[in-house]
Amino acid sequence: MTGAEAVERLQGTLAHLWMIRTFLKHADEVQDDADYLEVPRVLYDSIRAVEPAFLRGDRTEYLRRLKGKMGKLRKISTWFSAEYAKVSVHTNFEQAALSLAEAIRRMDEIFEAMKVTSSESVEE
């Protein structure tokens, strides 16, 4: 996978993360809980961290920055998947947890495909 293809796919996945972030940021059920509010904060930070590089067309910087955020994204996804039901068992929260986990899985697959097929440097 080329860097351009990876960035295009990652941008699409980040759009999904933005929608999860928006849902959680405005969900009344989590407004008074700092732990749950950390989820939209981490998503926001990760998405905005790559925006300047994307706007400049700097694929290498974009990929490096996003790769650097993957640990936090995995951690918050794992936490939210285990904890969402404590705040609400509503389908919206269940689907947000599933969507977040799937987005992280897709991002990991994209980075893995780059390691195998791309000549662009993406640091671990």
H or E element at residue 76: helix 59-87
- Measured distance CA(66)–CA(110) in Å, rounded: 12
pLDDT at 123 over 50: no
CB 66 within 8 A of CB 50: yes
CB 45 within 8 A of CB 57: no
pLDDT at 124 over 50: no
Q: Which two tokens stand for residue 85?
A: 């039901």
Domains with residue ranges and CATH for the chain: 3-117 (1.20.1440)
* pLDDT bracket for residue 122 (50, 70, 90): very low
pLDDT at 117: 56
How high does pLDDT run on average in the chain? 91
Residue from 69, 75, 30 nearest 48 by CA: 69
- pTM above the 0.85 mark? yes
